[in-house]
Structure 1
Amino acid sequence: MKIEHVGLWVGNLETMRDFYVTNFKATFGARYDNVTKGFSSYFLSFPDGQTRLEIMTRTDITDCYPDGFGYAHLAFSVENHATVDQMVIDFKKSGIEVVSGPRTTGDGYYEAVILDPEGNQIELVG
């Protein structure tokens, strides 16, 4: 068994799609729109070809609740510590907020945490 995809509600579908394409080499298929429900989404695939990310928006969802129950973060596994370090340098240069790290956590991960354009946490684990 494996996780096929994770769904993430977003406010701006195209901005979030472009963020993952630019920074994580995501590819995407056609935009899905359900006009009746006011729902739109993209499925994003990453170079490893495993789990996908579905970014979704709906016209009746206008508020987000940070640090509530539910989605906490996405974690991307990268090649090694040096890749984490380089990604942090690149993210800082491009104005992406680095929340923490790089560092070795208490549970042994070497990680850094960044924020996507809507404030969702993304862990880079090497």
Structure 2
Amino acid sequence: MKIEHIAIWVKDIDKVCEFYRKYFDGVVHPVYHNPAKQFTSRFVTFESGARLEIMHRPDIEPLSSSEHLGYAHLSFSVGSKEEVDLLTQQMSNDGIQVVGEPQTTGDGYYESVVLDPEGNRVEITI
């Protein structure tokens, strides 16, 4: 058994897809649109086979805070401490909000945490 994909509601599909393409080498697939439901989505596929479904519907509103019950973050493994540091610095230079600088956490992970264009937490780890 495996997780088939994870879905994220967003306001700007193209901006979020570009974030995952640019920084995590995701392949962005064509737009699906269902006019009857006012639903639009795009899948982003990663080398490992993992997929994100980036979705929009105009009646879905953002939460008032990035911290809430439910899913907490996505995590991408980039292979080494050096890669965590390099990608985090590149994102910072590009104006991506870094909310957790690279560090070894109490549970032994070396990671940083950034926010995607819609405020979703993304952990970058070894």
Same fold (TM over 0.5): yes
1:36 aligns with 2:31: no
- Which residue pairs with 2:100 in the alignment? 100
1:8 aligns with 2:8: yes
For 1:91 and 1:33, locate their aligned partners in 2 and report how far apart those are by CA, in whole Å: 31
CA deviation digits over 1:36-74, x for unaligned, max 9? 1111101100122x2100010112113324322222110
Q: Post-superposition, which runs of at least 4 consecutive aligned residues in structure 1 deviate over 4 A?
A: none
1:54 aligns with 2:53: yes
- Which residue pairs with 1:73 in the alignment? 73
The amino acid of 2:79's aligned partner reads E
Unaligned ranges ≥5, structure 1: none
For 2:43 and 2:81, locate their aligned partners in 1 and report how far apart those are by CA, in whole Å: 28
CA deviation digits over 1:4-24, x for unaligned, max 9? 110101011111111111111
- TM-score (ref. length: structure 2): 0.93
Unaligned ranges ≥5, structure 2: none
For 1:86 and 1:35, locate their aligned partners in 2 and report how far apart those are by CA, in whole Å: 42
- TM-score (ref. length: structure 1): 0.93
Greater CA deviation, 67-76 or 103-112? Answer: 67-76
Q: May I ask how many residue pairs the two structures share in their alignment?
A: 125
